Amino acid sequence: MLQTLKPVPPDALLAVTEAFRADPSRDRVDLGVGVYRDATGITPVPRAVRAAEQKMLSRQATKAYVGQGGNRPFAAFMEKLALGANHPALRDGRVVTLQSVGGTGALRLVAELIRLSGYTGAVQVSNPTWANHVPVLQGAGLATAAYPYYDIPAGRLLAGRMLEALSACEPGTVVLLHGSCHNPTGADPEPGHWAELAEVMARRQLVPFVDLAYQGLGRGLDADAAGLRLLCERLPEVLVALSCSKTFGLYRERVGAVMCVAENAAAAATSMSHLQALARRNYSMPPDHGAAIVAEIASDPALHADWQQELDDMRDRVNGLRKSLAGALRSELDSGRFDFIEQQAGMFSMLGLPKDAVERLRNEHHIYTAPDSRLNVAGLSGKEIAAVARAIAAVSRT
Ligand code: LMR
């Protein structure tokens, strides 16, 4: 049987990390996969995470399974973090949440739920979108289509064209949106655009599917979820994939959540029953550790405050890096071509360079971006900014 399989190429984004690791140059800079790095170049374990782990380990008495929906205090906290404590959807009891295996696991479970509902249309994704969105959706048996989102050469959001395209979708169409810190572009809809999105989606009876993986790293915990909160107020159904990888620095612990906002409490409970069944036949029981850490932080006001402080500091640092890099590029090129880097939010921006320029960055300058010229700004330690700007200028001049 195995002999019938043909090899598939490695994941193009994850291959960037491998290529970086194999590069012996002392000047190498990894701006590929989205992980935050501090000024010393490491991806730190947040202080609150470390403290929570110590508390948990000293008192843990069993490794017996957690229940099927995962850690319940964790799920309740994630709902409040995403929606705000007093959201009407929470008050109306039309929200259910299941712990998932990272944000990607949440995307997969939502995709399976969509398929289970008998949906036959294509899921609309932004052009461009995260390199793994289409594989996850198609892997669950869904078709995909793309709506205009971003003008890559001009470095700007195409809000009008997005709204126009979504206005033409069939009622019931599922539309994947990035809650904030759009990956790969860093360009988010403005608050006014979210209001228009909510209006179009309500009028056309579209179903938003929101991927919120970078809450707190763009403009702030509340601001980064404002679009999602509005959709959940205005629309009867919203599907949400949440991730704790970046917001809590828990990358390898693989913790996230699926949140379904349904028309009423009964429909929400039915969705939860299906999510539990889907999880059971995928991996049976969720892992404990990551969600337990988040629940511990949520239950301890001092840890909670410290986590928020560190997240604020990370965000300020990334915004500072954006400013420095845009400034260095302005000086190198004597033009504002890359000024959009400073205005965008979250970990990524897209340089808009052709494939050969991305290869020259890698081969001649040892700078590793994603293949589509996405740059993980949050991966810069800071010291390399001048060299990175010089290299980007060199490959973009010719
Ligand atoms: C990224 O886009 O780099 C991150 O979301 C990590 C990943 O799994 O691709």
In this predicted model, what pLDDT tens digit does every residue of 98-154 receive, in sequence order? 999 999 999 999 999 999 999 999 999 999 999 999 999 999 999 999 999 999 999
Q: Does 398 have pLDDT greater than 80?
A: no
- 182 and 219 together in one domain: yes
- 153 and 84 together in one domain: yes
Q: How confident is the model at residue 381 (pLDDT cuts 50, 70, 90)?
A: confident
Mean pLDDT for the stretch of residues 298-319? 98
In a domain, 5, yes or no: no
In a domain, 50, yes or no: no
Pocket of ligand 1 contains residue 13 by CB under 6 Å: yes
Mean pLDDT for the stretch of residues 286-298? 97
In a domain, 57, yes or no: no
Question: How many other C-beta atoms lie within 10 A of the C-beta of residue 202?
Answer: 13
Rounded Cα distance, 28 and 232, in Å? 44
- 27 and 86 together in one domain: no
Give pLDDT, residue 397.
82
Residue to mutate, 126, 130, 247, 253, ligand 1, most ligand atoms under 8 Å from C-beta: 130
Domain region containing 38: 10-44+315-397
213 given a catalytic annotation: yes
Would you state the structure tokens that stand for residue 223, as one six-digit string?
A: 């601001």
- 143 and 264 together in one domain: yes
Mean of per-residue pLDDT scores for the chain: 97
In a domain, 3, yes or no: no
Pocket of ligand 1 contains residue 66 by CB under 6 Å: no
Pocket of ligand 1 contains residue 286 by CB under 6 Å: no
Contact between residue 33 and residue 131 where contact means Cβ atoms under 8 Å apart: no
Q: Does 254 have pLDDT greater than 70?
A: yes
Q: List the CATH number of the domain containing 381.
A: 3.90.1150.10
From the candidates 111, 187, 213, 370, give the one annotated as an active-site residue.
213
Rounded Cα distance, 236 and 204, in Å? 12
Per DSSP, 223 falls in state G
Give pLDDT, residue 170.
97
Pocket of ligand 1 contains residue 31 by CB under 6 Å: no
Q: Residue 34 Cα, ligand 1 centroid: separation in angstroms?
A: 5
- 114 and 232 together in one domain: yes
- 210 and 168 together in one domain: yes
- 360 and 221 together in one domain: no
In a domain, 305, yes or no: no
Show Cβ contacts of residue 306 under 8 Å, excluding neighbours closer than 6 positions: 47, 48, 51
Q: List the CATH number of the domain containing 219.
A: 3.40.640.10
Pocket of ligand 1 contains residue 308 by CB under 6 Å: no
State the burial class of residue 374 (Cβ atoms within 10 Å of its Cβ: 0-12, 13-18, 19+). Answer: buried
Residue to mutate, 16, 20, 33, ligand 1, most ligand atoms under 8 Å from C-beta: 33
Mean pLDDT for the stretch of residues 1-6? 97
Give pLDDT, residue 370.
97
End-of-domain residue from the set 271, 299, 327: 299
How many Å separate Cα 185 from the centre of its chain?
12
- 134 and 167 together in one domain: yes
- 173 and 258 together in one domain: yes
* Domain count along the chain: 2
In a domain, 2, yes or no: no
307 given a catalytic annotation: no
End-of-domain residue from the set 270, 299, 328: 299
- 136 and 231 together in one domain: yes
- 209 and 254 together in one domain: yes
Closest atom, ligand 1, to C-alpha of 370: 3
In a domain, 19, yes or no: yes
From the candidates 48, 51, 106, 130, give the one annotated as an active-site residue.
130
In a domain, 52, yes or no: no
In this predicted model, what pLDDT tens digit does every residue of 206-253 receive, in sequence order? 999 999 999 999 999 999 999 999 999 999 999 999 999 999 999 999
Show Cβ contacts of residue 60 under 8 Å, excluding neighbours closer than 6 positions: none
- 351 and 266 together in one domain: no
Rounded Cα distance, 218 and 212, in Å? 11
From the candidates 188, 211, 288, 372, give the one annotated as an active-site residue.
211
In this predicted model, what pLDDT tens digit does every residue of 43-93 receive, in sequence order? 999 999 999 999 999 999 999 999 989 999 999 999 999 999 999 999 999
Mean pLDDT for the stretch of residues 19-24? 97
